[in-house]
Chain A
């Protein structure tokens, strides 16, 4: 029995910014059994309290309720743990002190390194000197290791803090090998020129005399199409050229890796730091998990992979999104004097498409649309087979701005190409196949048939 390989799990983890010294407690999010159409419930879950000085887990507890801001109104950062797992004879198990001892290695043999970057300025200016990188270098021990962003165009000795990583000291109660990333506070940094307003920023760290980020404009890009889409998306002085103020934030993404040189083992994982999730009991229709699953498992689904719960989850996320949207406004209907606000209906006019509401105004109020989606959800729960696969927007139909095209689902939302959103192909295939599967379930309560059908193929065009 030997350790064949190491893995850091999760392979991809998200941190969320906040200036509170207290990290956000752990919780679970569950659909209420007695209230299936209601908001998901947030229940406290096992939370580790880390002693920042010693790096050990001082205690664990389950909070009774979750507050997303602290008593001073500061946002609690989401500070994720990353665990090391060992492949022992084809099975991953958490790496522990005891397991290391069997390999004649110890905690002290473990080295870590974290590297993150913020390339937002570089992405615009194209100047390598605008890259902001932080690297802890290889380290051992359990002190917090700060991630200080360095940049050739920073004022001398100035850095941009991205937070820190801390190797949690294993103990008898918590013997696993884990590292915690605590992200930055959500501060803004500026430059040494007057475009930076001191009240906006934590510090003026960018040397505007050396670098071009302050004063940059997307209008100068060559070729012009190289700019981000959408653009311009950076703090600017509000002129016609959208001249950049040279502001930087403390978001980042990067890699954390660990190695045990004497065992010739190593692993890495990825992480990033973004803004808080402000609706923690609601979930987007299409998420990064859906992207990663499509890449890992492919766009096609087999009948065996499909479940009514999967389809239900997609419909649930649809009404979770709808109930937090003013769908009347998004349909292109004015709700107050002054005309329609920014919406897919107004975005479509950028193509020269006529300005028109997407759907009949009578049916687009948030409450009516929520009710409709919840009725569909209820019907699925009765065992009714999925019947709406044909109203899903195909991924190649996103440019169809006819009314019929714009009314396909998901509606009134934008995809990664700026056109109307389509689900991942895997999601869409799952919805379509679940109708097939249910129509053939061997369950006596199923609405229709009894014989199984063969595996389904890719969506038909």
Chain B
């Protein structure tokens, strides 16, 4: 399926999702099987902020939604933790898998195994040799991308042989179970399948209330939605000068206050709970606009 401009103002090859927010992809009809176009469609009157391309997906835990939750129910019979390879729930048949860890899956089509655990390695002292520091589950979004096409069939999943509260090594002893993969999308449509997530599940692992997270999370990795560094210009030493987005404005010379949980010049929890609409500013061209 090829992203092609729908009128002449778009550059050839511009992704459909980008064309949608540019307003250059606004079809009057769409092929019933053109699921990519359906997915990218922007309804009349909807500003770009309604589109998935404006929502961050490095969800730790996320802003608009915690998209990790779409993977929780990808295997029939078990519920996975949204950000860990832990089985947190099962139906009766799969009760023995409760609190075990999913270590690897057999990639459909005889393409070997996809490990779901990665070893974390690095130096323990500055400049030192890298050593193993632990293990961590890989994010579902990339690791499970290869099983979506196996919907409706069973894939071999290898679990730890017993419940494992702590992270396990990738070469831990395992026990295989064949589990059926659910449809990700409702058949013939581009809508996330009904039985994959229930109402409320896509936001459930976000902060409660979300305002709290803006204060404490140091959400530096979502800067294009929740800015970090604003009103930036070249300073006298040739490096940047500007302010922390979460900084109280007008409280002195322009000096970035790091979010180290104790800087005095930053917005407080109370500011966020009681005045978030006033104190948080929209940034257009990197500058406060209100």
Direct A–B contact in complex, judged by CB atoms less than 8 Å apart: yes
Q: A11-B39, A29-B48, A48-B44 are in contact. Are A323 and B124 (CB under 8 A)?
A: no
Which residues from chain B contact A47 at a C-beta distance below 8 Å?
A: 45
A81 near B208 with CB under 8 A, answer no
Whether B182 sits at the interface, judged by CB under 8 Å, is: no
Q: Is the CB of A78 within 8 A of B260?
A: no
Tell me whether B224 and A284 are in contact (CB under 8 A).
yes
* Chain A residues within 8 Å of B278, by CB: 73
Q: Which residues of chain B are within 8 angstroms of A284 by Cβ–Cβ distance?
A: 55-58, 222, 224-225
A401–B39 touching, CB < 8 Å: no
- Does A209 count as interface, using CB distance less than 8 angstroms? no
Give every chain A residue within 8 A of B134 (Cβ-Cβ).
351-352
Report which of A60, A80, A274 forms a contact with B55, defined as CB distance below 8 A: A274
CA distance A74 to B46 in the complex (A): 20
**Whole-angstrom distance between the Cβ of A428 and the nearest chain B Cβ:** 9
Question: B-facing mask of A355-367, CB < 8 A → 1, else 0?
Answer: 1100000000111
The answer to whether B274 touches A116, judged by C-beta atoms less than 8 angstroms apart, is: no
For window 244-295 of A, CB contacts with B under 8 Å fall at: 247-249, 251-255, 268-270, 272, 274-295
Task: Give chain A residues whose Cβ lies under 8 Å from the Cβ of B39.
Answer: 10-12, 289, 292-293, 296
Would you call A398 an interface residue if the criterion is a C-beta within 8 Å of the partner chain's C-beta atoms? yes
What's the nearest-Cβ distance from chain B to residue A400, in Å? 6
Contacts of A45 in B (CB 8 A): 23, 47
In the complex, A189 Cα to B242 Cα: how many Å?
35
Interface-central residue, A16, A248, A399, by most chain B CB under 10 Å? A399
Shortest Cβ gap from B162 to chain A (Å)? 13
Q: Any chain A CB within 8 A of the CB of B8?
A: no
Complex CA distance for A351 and B126, rounded to whole angstroms: 14
Shortest C-beta distance, B49 to chain A (Å), equals 5
User: Does B276 count as interface, using CB distance less than 8 angstroms?
Assistant: yes
A-side contacts of B229, CB under 8 Å: 323-326, 366
Q: Which residues of B contact A252 (CB under 8 A)?
A: 199-200, 203
Contact across chains for B53 and A289 when beta carbons are under 8 A apart: yes
C-beta contact mask, B1-39 vs A, less than 8 Å → 1, else 0?
Answer: 111000000011111011001110000111111011011
Q: Which of B259-290 contact A (CB under 8 A)?
A: 259-263, 269-270, 273-274, 276-278, 280-286, 289-290
- Do the beta carbons of A416 and B60 come within 8 Å of each other? yes
Q: Are A307 and B145 in contact (CB under 8 A)?
A: no
Contact across chains for B133 and A324 when beta carbons are under 8 A apart? no
Asked whether B199 lies within 8 Å of A133 as measured between CB atoms, the reply is yes
Instruction: Name A302-329 residues within 8 Å CB distance of B.
Output: 304-305, 307-310, 313, 317, 320-326, 328-329
Contact A324 B15 (CB under 8 A): no
Q: Which residues of A contact B143 (CB under 8 A)?
A: 395
Closest to B50 in A: A80
Q: Check A288/B289 contact, CB under 8 A, given A11-B190, A92-B32.
A: no
- Between A27, A341, A365, A398, the greatest number of chain B beta carbons within 10 A of the residue's beta carbon is seen for A341
User: What number of A residues sit within 8 Å (CB to CB) of B?
Assistant: 179
9-residue interface stretch from A101-109, A137-145, A229-237, A445-453:
A229-237
B225 in contact with A325 (CB, 8 Å): no
Contact A120 B203 (CB under 8 A): yes
* Interface residues in A195-215 (C-beta closer than 8 Å to B): 199-201
CB <8 Å contact, B31 and A335: no
B183-230 residues at the A interface, CB under 8 angstroms: 184-186, 188-192, 194, 198-214, 216-218, 220-230
* Interface membership of A225, Cβ < 8 A: yes
CB neighbours of A269 from chain B (8 A): 191
The smallest C-beta distance from A220 to any residue of chain B, in angstroms, reads 14
A200 in contact with B274 (CB, 8 Å): yes
A92-B31, A287-B52, A294-B145 are contacts. A73–B273 as well, Cβ < 8 Å? no
**B residues near A254, Cβ cutoff 8 Å:** 199-200
Contact between B139 and A287 (Cβ–Cβ < 8 Å)?
no
Assess whether A296 is in contact with B185, with CB atoms less than 8 Å apart: yes
A121 contacts chain B at the CB level, 8 A cutoff: yes
Complexed CA–CA distance, A323 and B228 (Å)? 9
| In-complex Cβ contact of B212 among A39, A81, A233, A416 (8 A) | A233
Q: Is B153 an interface residue (CB 8 A)?
A: no
- Across the interface, B122 reaches (CB within 8 A) one of A5, A299, A354, namely A354
Cβ-defined contact, B118 with A396, below 8 A: yes
Given A39-B285, A234-B207; A421-B221 close (CB under 8 Å): yes
Contact A18 to B138, CB < 8 A, known contacts A47-B45, A254-B199: no
Does chain A have a CB within 8 A of B77?
no
- Considering only residues 70-93 of chain B, those with a C-beta below 8 Å from chain A are 81-84, 86, 88
Chain A residue nearest to B280 (CB atoms) is A278
> Across the interface, do B41 and A288 meet the contact criterion of CB distance under 8 Å?
no
- Residues of A within 8 Å of B38, CB to CB, are 7, 9-11, 92
Provide the residues of chain A in CB contact with B40, threshold 8 Å. 289
Partner of A226, one of B81, B145, B166, B290: B81
Given contacts A275-B63, A326-B244, A396-B118, contact A309 B50 (CB under 8 A): no
Interface pair B228/A10, CB less than 8 Å apart:
no
Chain A residues 76 to 135 lying within 8 A of chain B, measured CB to CB, are: 78, 80-83, 85, 87, 90-94, 115-124, 131-133
CB of B281 within 8 A of CB of A288, answer no
Complex contact A26–B209 (CB within 8 A): no
Q: B260 near A342 (CB under 8 angstroms)?
A: yes
**17 A-B interface contacts by CB (under 8 A):** A9-B41, A10-B46, A19-B277, A39-B284, A69-B282, A252-B200, A274-B64, A281-B285, A284-B55, A292-B190, A298-B148, A307-B15, A330-B228, A342-B258, A354-B125, A354-B128, A397-B118
Closest 6 CB pairs of A and B: A117-B200, A307-B13, A401-B122, A341-B258, A274-B64, A249-B209
